[in-house]
Structure 1
Amino acid sequence: MTLIHAVMWSLHVGFAILWTGSVLFVSLAVVPPATRGDVGGKLLSTVVGRLRWITRIGALVFVATGGHMAGQLYTADTLTGTGAGHLVLTMIALWFLITGLVEVAGSKAVAGLDGDIAGAAADAKPFFYAAAGLSVALILTAGLLANPFGL
């Protein structure tokens, strides 16, 4: 393994931990109290804004690092014809879905901050929860891919 591979792997995994953890934190620790009106608009806006920036920066990091890793480890045939390749494709699909859900949820959460904060959070809640569920699926898929004992 070269230094560049180690750096790419570390950046990819590190950012994946930050991103999925942030999605889970916002979905499970911030949104529920926000729907009860226990979180102020400024705090909700700040937390959701940071999650959206982590998501957007993560997209750049994941394309660069994941592209490097996929280019080194897979061909079109191994991506479409092996179990590991299918897991990589599943992770890419989950990444796109979670990213879209976070963007929709974030837009809904901040749309009502001038008035009904609890209502805006409630509108965003199903999208955040779907993103959280898919984040767990992404983590499980990554675990299967990293499993040294095979599928």
Structure 2
Amino acid sequence: MEALNPVMWSVHVGFAVLWTGSVLFVSLAVLPSALRGDIGGDALAGIVGRLRWITRFAAVAFLATGGHMAGTLYTVESLTGSGRGHLVLTMLVLWFVITGLVEVASGKLLSGVDTGKLREPARDAKPFFYGAAGLSVLLLVTAGLLATPGFA
């Protein structure tokens, strides 16, 4: 069972890097191009559709790997009564909120692109993508704190 822990950790971190990087890329590189009208609707739909699928696949990976790690490394008492546990719970809440923001933002953007519009749906999705990006940075900081030996 101990050999499984590094595998679960590696898969968890790998998906976290892929997902948060994708959220930041779409929010900070792709969305500004959509707001200016510098990107085609098909390209935008493809990129945002891919982000949506990455978000969904990552959710399954996070449930499996994070659930395994939480079940083997923590008890209810250590999750709710220690600094490390609070960091894990903070990451869980951030993950849920970011996932929701990405789903709402991508839905707004894709529904607008499907009707042939670009700038207006990008403006409608902007606060949700920017919120997801900001919280993604906070999620990475939280993960860094959790990975710091002796912290919390």
Tell me if both proteins adopt one fold, taking TM over 0.5 as the criterion.
Answer: yes
TM-score normalised to the size of structure 1? 0.97
Cα distance, 1:3 vs. partner? 2.1
SS of residue paired to 2:126: helix
Looking at structure 1, the residues matched to 65 and 58 of structure 2 have their Cα atoms a distance apart, in angstroms, of 10
Looking at structure 1, the residues matched to 56 and 67 of structure 2 have their Cα atoms a distance apart, in angstroms, of 16
SS of residue paired to 2:39: coil
Looking at structure 2, the residues matched to 59 and 73 of structure 1 have their Cα atoms a distance apart, in angstroms, of 20
Task: In structure 1, give the amino acid aligned to 2:136.
Answer: S
> Which residue number in structure 2 is paired with residue 128 of structure 1?
129
> Which residue number in structure 2 is paired with residue 148 of structure 1?
149
> Which residue number in structure 1 is paired with residue 2 of structure 2?
2
Looking at structure 1, the residues matched to 79 and 57 of structure 2 have their Cα atoms a distance apart, in angstroms, of 25
Cα distance, 1:16 vs. partner? 0.2
SS of residue paired to 1:2: coil
Cα distance, 1:134 vs. partner? 0.3
> Which residue number in structure 1 is paired with residue 23 of structure 2?
23
> Which residue number in structure 2 is paired with residue 83 of structure 1?
83
Task: In structure 2, give the amino acid aligned to 1:131.
Answer: A
> Which residue number in structure 1 is paired with residue 50 of structure 2?
50
SS of residue paired to 2:50: helix
Cα distance, 1:129 vs. partner? 0.2
Cα distance, 1:112 vs. partner? 1.1
**Structure 1 residue ranges without an equivalent (≥5):** none
> Which residue number in structure 2 is paired with residue 92 of structure 1?
92
Looking at structure 1, the residues matched to 32 and 9 of structure 2 have their Cα atoms a distance apart, in angstroms, of 34
> Which residue number in structure 2 is paired with residue 107 of structure 1?
107
> Which residue number in structure 1 is paired with residue 118 of structure 2?
117
Looking at structure 1, the residues matched to 40 and 112 of structure 2 have their Cα atoms a distance apart, in angstroms, of 12
TM-score normalised to the size of structure 2? 0.97
**Alignment RMSD (CA, Å):** 1.0
**Structure 2 residue ranges without an equivalent (≥5):** none
Q: Which runs of 4+ in 1 moved over 6 A?
A: none
